[in-house]
Structure 1
Amino acid sequence: MSDTRTGPLAGIRVVELAQWVFVPSAAAILADLGADVVRIEHPVHGDPYNALTTAGAKNGASAQSARSAQANRGKRSIGIDLRKPGGRELAYTLVREADAFLTSFRADALGRLGMSEAHLKALNPRLVYARGDAFGPEGPDSALPGYDITAFWARGGVGALVTDPDASQVARQPPSFGDRIASVGLACGVMASLLGRERGLAPEPVSSSLMAAAAWVTASEIISHDPSAGPGARVAVPPLTGSYRCAGGGWIMLNLMQSDRYWDDFCKHLGAPELRLDERFGDGPSRDAHAAELRTALEAVFARRTRDEWSAAFATFDGPWAPVQDVTELADDPQIVANGFVRPVPEIDGMRLVRAPFTVGEVADTLPRGPELGEHTETVLLDAGVEWDEIEKLKDAGVIT
């Protein structure tokens, strides 16, 4: 496998056998950092995520699926039927030269395909073997299937945490929300194992799960929950923390946890000197004692202006606040633009993708597109030393296309 990339992971070779979003997104982070990632797909069916339709919306922004490109940008795709004679051996050719192998397949399927950790480490003892799953590698439910909406949002408690107790349904999970959170952890684990290997340690296997990601993001609730309070117990939100509806339907979010530090200046920007002079709200303990009255008063004040008018009024307020934006506004937020969090894809007109949620050194001005199914089959095999006549035989046998 040739590698002409730059970045801290340049020269690292990764083989990916994964579908959907979680594990492919972890490999995309590695590709962002310069790794040469080759994803193995079925030569006919490919990754089902490529053609996914959600809630009636097509999974794409152009000829190529934008969602698939988000999870697979900068990779190379090789189509191999691992169940046909010769397919497994072809994959082994790639694994022998790889630094890391990432998979989302279930353990029993990996065993049948000859792609388990035991199979691949026997071929390549230096290989970092990484697997992402729904519920973790141990326990009675470790073999169960799961998506982020079931393992992360539902069983992981995240959905219940953000759902009003009187709601008729659990709050809607944004698409692939848990997948992308979990992917950062899996990528981090792979890089840690690679670093350990470079320092002379044996390459450690890496695992991550959607349920582990749910526990991580809800850690504050887990570690501070009082068992005697029972399930679903919630701590009241202080009036200077939380959202307030504005005129026209928008929202402003506050998080003035150090309320004495911000109170006077907050009232000035709010244009409500009567609140600053009110003895009920004179200091932190008083505001806590009259929390319901303060929240009611603030609701009335915020209802006087629109979200954008409040944003202008608070522009010089040096405290933690923000307008509540719709995700459609996010891509053009000045901070998103200034930091290049969303980048254009030059090869596909109108496509924008989101880069990894951190930077290491200089960041490219653009992001590459994702590969078409099997787009790089021949070049990957040639790079791996497979001769043309053997490639033709594999095509004739239906192992590759």
Structure 2
Amino acid sequence: MQALDGIKVLDLSRTLAGPYSSMLLGDMGADIVKVEQPGKGDESRQFTPPAWNGESCYFLSSNRNKRSITIDLKTDEGREIVYKLAKEADVLIENFRTGALDKLGLGYEQLKELNPRLIYCSISGFGRTGPEKNRAGYDLLLQGYGGLMSITGEADRTPAKAGMSIVDLTTGMYAVYGILTALIARDKTEKGQFIDVSLLDGQISLLNHMATGYFATGKPAGRMGSAHPTLVPYQAFSAKDTDIILAVANNGLWEKCCRAMGWENLLEDSRFVTNDARVSNRAILIPMISERLAKLESEEIFDTLDAVGVPCGPIHTIDQVVNHPQVKAREMILEVEHPTVPNLKIPGFPVKLSDTPASLQKYPPLLGEHTEEILDQLGFSPEQIEELKIKRIIGDPVQKNYSLS
């Protein structure tokens, strides 16, 4: 058994934030029906390179545990199919521009008349209210707009974005949080509700102590590279052979670090006795530590500090971390049987439940792979399905020839 067995999700979203949220629900047992555009599909199917045997790695990473149906939403017949799906659904996820689905007759106010228990999760760049509600939003844009890039990178360099699509992915997680909360509420009220999740709101939430610090001081934080504004030493350093992380997060760890490394003179220096003092004298202390660590091999540093419980470690490349014994022990890389991608591997389930664990039920679907299966379950006859195909309301059962150029 899985926690979300029996929950039906109608996924009208594409690209990353929405598909990532529906994938997380599918991992926990929800039945995800992914609606895609005939002949083209989710635009992330075209996000290449890299591709793996003609399939977009971007798409493969965020669309397991789903069934794909292709429907032309601009046709009356296509919308009728969506109405039938929505009437049976527990959750709908969409990330169209503000007002776009309302114009198609697929907005929340319209669909809740068909299904009062429907939980309608709307994901957008800037939210469905406010002066910027009509703006399109993408991860890079919101990393800048939402303040993240102002605190990412070195102080004397151009602002940098996070290496992964952090805004999209965290927004997807917030969407799941909202959906699960709404499902619990529905158990009490018997009614669904509208959920408004935006990339901007999620990013403001992630500013966390940075935002509160600004309100306290009136000074916005700036770029500090890997350093931390309120903890020292807590950043990357260069050992003799490679770069490392040293995370001395409190005074107790500072004492352990200095004694283990033979830095008693630093421990006794009044400029570095407390964390407040170390922050104030960062410009003096960091070069002193850097000079000492640069003379030592990384493994020597790790062995010394691990022995006394001081957090430290390497800066892994992606190939190193995905093959690491700890990652393998945590089963964080899934090997997936896929009809066109042999030996497909994708990141696994980050939440481990003892009684209702996540599981891999379906590989990332080919475009329109489950169209006939889903329509059959809705009560369409083979003749009706064939007529929909002739009218191009739906695509072929499996579209293997979509463009990945």
TM beyond 0.5 = yes
Residue 342 (structure 1) aligned to one of 330, 333, 337: 333
**What is the aligned partner in structure 1 of residue 202 from structure 2?**
213
**What is the aligned partner in structure 1 of residue 401 from structure 2?**
none
Residue 353 (structure 2) aligned to one of 355, 360, 363: 360
- Report the CA distance between 1:91 and its aligned residue: 1.3
After superposition, residues 181-192 of structure 1 pair within 5 angstroms as 181-192=170-181
- Report the CA distance between 1:277 and its aligned residue: 5.2
Checking the alignment, whether the CA contact within 8 Å between 1:61 and 1:350 is kept in structure 2 is no
Checking the alignment, whether the CA contact within 8 Å between 2:90 and 2:118 is kept in structure 1 is yes
**What is the aligned partner in structure 1 of residue 249 from structure 2?**
257
Checking the alignment, whether the CA contact within 8 Å between 1:252 and 1:307 is kept in structure 2 is no
Once residues 373 and 224 of structure 1 are traced to their aligned partners in structure 2, the CA distance between those partners, rounded to angstroms, is 47
Q: Deviations along 1:124-166, whole A, 9 cap, x unmatched?
A: 1111011100011110101110101102x01000011113332
Within the alignment, does 1:46 sit opposite 2:45 as a pair?
no
- Report the CA distance between 1:263 and its aligned residue: 3.1
**What is the aligned partner in structure 2 of residue 3 from structure 1?**
none
- Report the CA distance between 1:95 and its aligned residue: 1.0
Residue 369 (structure 1) aligned to one of 345, 350, 363: 363
After superposition, residues 201-240 of structure 1 pair within 5 angstroms as 201-226=190-215, 229-232=218-221, 236-240=229-233
Once residues 343 and 236 of structure 2 are traced to their aligned partners in structure 1, the CA distance between those partners, rounded to angstroms, is 34
Once residues 365 and 139 of structure 1 are traced to their aligned partners in structure 2, the CA distance between those partners, rounded to angstroms, is 39
Once residues 231 and 238 of structure 2 are traced to their aligned partners in structure 1, the CA distance between those partners, rounded to angstroms, is 16
**What is the aligned partner in structure 1 of residue 400 from structure 2?**
none
Q: In the superposition, relative to structure 1, how do residues 279 and 219 fare at CA in structure 2: closer, same or farther (>3 Å)?
A: closer
Within the alignment, does 1:71 sit opposite 2:62 as a pair?
yes
**What is the aligned partner in structure 1 of residue 290 from structure 2?**
299
Q: In the superposition, relative to structure 1, how do residues 268 and 227 fare at CA in structure 2: closer, same or farther (>3 Å)?
A: closer
Once residues 274 and 194 of structure 2 are traced to their aligned partners in structure 1, the CA distance between those partners, rounded to angstroms, is 53
**What is the aligned partner in structure 1 of residue 319 from structure 2?**
328
Q: In the superposition, relative to structure 1, how do residues 397 and 280 fare at CA in structure 2: closer, same or farther (>3 Å)?
A: closer
Residue 118 (structure 2) aligned to one of 124, 127, 139: 127
Q: In the superposition, relative to structure 1, how do residues 21 and 285 fare at CA in structure 2: closer, same or farther (>3 Å)?
A: closer
Q: In the superposition, relative to structure 1, how do residues 75 and 286 fare at CA in structure 2: closer, same or farther (>3 Å)?
A: closer
Q: State the AA in 1 paired with 2:138.
A: Y
- Report the CA distance between 1:364 and its aligned residue: 5.6
Q: In the superposition, relative to structure 1, how do residues 344 and 311 fare at CA in structure 2: closer, same or farther (>3 Å)?
A: farther
Q: State the AA in 1 paired with 2:342.
A: D
Q: State the AA in 2 paired with 1:171.
A: A
TM-score by length of 2: 0.88
Q: Deviations along 1:251-292, whole A, 9 cap, x unmatched?
A: 2231x2321x12332124324444345565455566566543
Once residues 303 and 175 of structure 1 are traced to their aligned partners in structure 2, the CA distance between those partners, rounded to angstroms, is 29
When structure 1 is superposed on structure 2, of 363-372 and 173-182 the one drifting more is: 363-372
Checking the alignment, whether the CA contact within 8 Å between 2:47 and 2:56 is kept in structure 1 is no
Q: In the superposition, relative to structure 1, how do residues 328 and 308 fare at CA in structure 2: closer, same or farther (>3 Å)?
A: farther
Q: In the superposition, relative to structure 1, how do residues 271 and 227 fare at CA in structure 2: closer, same or farther (>3 Å)?
A: closer
Checking the alignment, whether the CA contact within 8 Å between 2:2 and 2:358 is kept in structure 1 is no
Within the alignment, does 1:143 sit opposite 2:134 as a pair?
yes
- Report the CA distance between 1:14 and its aligned residue: 0.6
Checking the alignment, whether the CA contact within 8 Å between 1:135 and 1:141 is kept in structure 2 is yes
Q: State the AA in 2 paired with 1:163.
A: G
RMSD: 2.3
**What is the aligned partner in structure 2 of residue 312 from structure 1?**
303
**Percent of counterpart pairs with the same letter?**
27
Unaligned runs of 5+ in 2: 396-405
Once residues 31 and 18 of structure 1 are traced to their aligned partners in structure 2, the CA distance between those partners, rounded to angstroms, is 14
Once residues 82 and 140 of structure 2 are traced to their aligned partners in structure 1, the CA distance between those partners, rounded to angstroms, is 31
Once residues 27 and 366 of structure 1 are traced to their aligned partners in structure 2, the CA distance between those partners, rounded to angstroms, is 14
Once residues 72 and 285 of structure 1 are traced to their aligned partners in structure 2, the CA distance between those partners, rounded to angstroms, is 46
SS at match of 1:328: helix
SS at match of 2:62: helix
Q: In the superposition, relative to structure 1, how do residues 290 and 120 fare at CA in structure 2: closer, same or farther (>3 Å)?
A: closer
